[in-house]
Amino acid sequence: MSDAAPRATWALRAHAACEWVLWALTMNALWWLFTLAGAVVLGAAPATIAAATLTRRQLRGEKVRALRDFAAVWRAELLLANALLLPLLIPGALLAVTASALLATAGPLGPVSLAAAVLVAAICHIVIPMYVSYDLPLRAYVMTAMRWGVANLAQVLVALAGTALVVGASLAIPGIVPFLSIGAVIVIDTALGCAFFHANERSLAESP
């Protein structure tokens, strides 16, 4: 009897882990589908917001109909998501490509480009879960995210570490890239961001 409880606990944890892997696979597939539906450039931002929104609902225990709800959020957020994220995603992608090329040639600007790309990635890691968690004026998200990141640097580093883990796994097993990587990054980032925001709210509520 003493071993039954630990075995049951591990079985439940394994089941929950498998459910989240399946969820990441689902979000990844829908992200690609709706990104392509928006001709990539106009589809990626609302697809990212849709995946983050549905992941937040999943974390809150709400009933989610993946395809129908994803499509609904994608359509509703098409304009706002692009207005919010395209100014971050496009420069971030260009900086990442530039950094990769310069680092390969040992160029002196390689580390600078890499640092700039990481900074943009850090802002995105805060802005995306913040957008699906709080109703702010559109122009306020980036500045609010930057202020929050400066005040909560450790949490930002944890979020970046989660992405680095997925990127490392993707480099080690390139076959998972089209099936899991993007979905995993969005799910991890949303889960961590929502947890950090909740902890911050609780801390503020408990402070005198």
pLDDT at 3: 62
pLDDT at 8: 58
Question: Are the C-beta atoms of 45 and 82 separated by less than 8 Å?
Answer: yes
In the chain, the number of structural domains is 1
pLDDT at 1: 46
> Rounded to an integer, what distance in angstroms lies between the CA atom of residue 54 and that of residue 180?
16
Residue 204 has pLDDT above 50, yes or no: yes
Average pLDDT of the chain is 91
Residues 132-181: tens digit of each pLDDT? 999 999 999 999 999 999 999 999 999 999 999 999 999 899 899 999 99
Q: Which of 74-78, 173-177, 201-205 has the highest mean pLDDT?
A: 74-78
pLDDT at 111: 86
Residue 11 has pLDDT above 90, yes or no: no
Based on its alpha-carbon atoms, the radius of gyration of the chain, rounded to whole angstroms, reads 18
pLDDT at 208: 64
pLDDT at 149: 95
pLDDT at 68: 98
Mean pLDDT for 7-32 is: 87
Residue 18 has pLDDT above 60, yes or no: yes
Q: What proportion of the chain, given as a percentage, has pLDDT over 90?
A: 76
pLDDT at 14: 78
pLDDT at 79: 97
What residue numbers bound the domain in which 83 lies?
4-206
Q: What proportion of the chain, given as a percentage, has pLDDT over 70?
A: 95
Mean pLDDT for 115-125 is: 94
